[in-house]
Amino acid sequence: MPTTVKEKEAVNYPMFSTSVWWALRKKFIQTVPSRVTDTYLAGVLGMEPISAKKNLLSPLRRLGLIDSDGKPTDRAIRWRNDDQYAAVCEEIRKDIYPQELLDTFPDANSPRSSVEKWFANATRVGEGASKKMATLYFLLTEADPTGQESSSATIKVPKPSKTTSSAPKSNGSGAKKVATDNSNGKAYSPTELETKIPPPSQRVSSIVPSLHIDIQIHIPPDASAEQIDQIFASMSKHLYKGSNVNE
C-alpha cells in the first residue's frame, strides 16, 4: 500500500506596518511601559483596543519584544538603542524566518515583489497579508534606525479647511464681481449693471431741479395793439434767449 505524503502545513509570519513599527519604537524610547496591553497600544497608536489585541499583541510576542504577560523583554530595551538596533533586527530575523528565506533574499536590495510572492506561497495568504509580511521583513533586513526620522519627516500635515467668507476677494483670479440692488436684493453682473444704470448725462439731467416762474403783466386799458405786440416781443427776447423767436 503506497505511503501518502503529508501536505506541508502553512506557516504564518508576523505583520507590521512601517508607521506602527516606528511609532511604537519612538514611544519605547521615551518611556518603557511596565506592561504592553491592548489599551496601551490603542492609546499610543490611536486605534481601537480590539484591533490592537487582534493585530499587534501576538506579533510583538513573536518578535520577542514582550513576553507572554506583555512585559517588555531585554530585547525590547536593546531595540530602543540605535547602536544595538541592527543586532536586534538580525536576532529577530534568525528567530522567526527560515534559512531558505534568509539565503534567497539576504539584503534590502532584494526584489520586493519576489519576497511578497515567497510569503504568499509559504503562508497561502492573500496579496494584502503577504505585502505586510514583506514590509516587516525589509524593516528587519534594512536594520536602519535612521528610518524612524525619515518616517516622521514624511508625515503629511492636514491642510486647513476652507472657510466661506462674505468679504469679496481681490486676488486677480478673474472671478466675476456682483453688484446688489438694495431695493430688491437682486444681484447683477457687470453687463447687467451697465444696462440698468443710465448714462451720466441722463443721471445728471434726472437730478436737476425744475424752475417754475409766474409772470404777471399789467397792460393799460388804453394800450394800442402795436404796444401790446412790442411788450410780448420784448418778453420773448429776454426770457427765451437762444430760441428762434421772430422779433
Q: How many other C-beta atoms lie within 10 A of the C-beta of residue 132?
A: 21
Q: What is the DSSP letter of 179?
A: E
Per-residue confidence (pLDDT) for residue 5, from 0 to 100: 40
Question: What pTM does this model have?
Answer: 0.58
- Tens of pLDDT, residue by residue, the chain (247 residues): 444 444 445 578 999 999 999 999 999 999 999 999 999 999 999 999 999 999 999 999 999 999 999 999 999 999 999 999 999 999 999 999 999 999 999 999 999 999 999 999 999 999 999 999 999 999 999 999 998 776 654 444 444 445 444 444 445 444 444 445 555 555 555 555 555 555 555 554 455 566 666 676 767 767 677 777 777 777 777 666 554 544 4
N residues, the chain: 247
Residue type, 12: N
Per-residue confidence (pLDDT) for residue 219, from 0 to 100: 73
Cβ neighbours of residue 114 closer than 8 Å, sequence gap 6 or more: 105
- Rounded CA gap, 206 and 243, in Å? 23
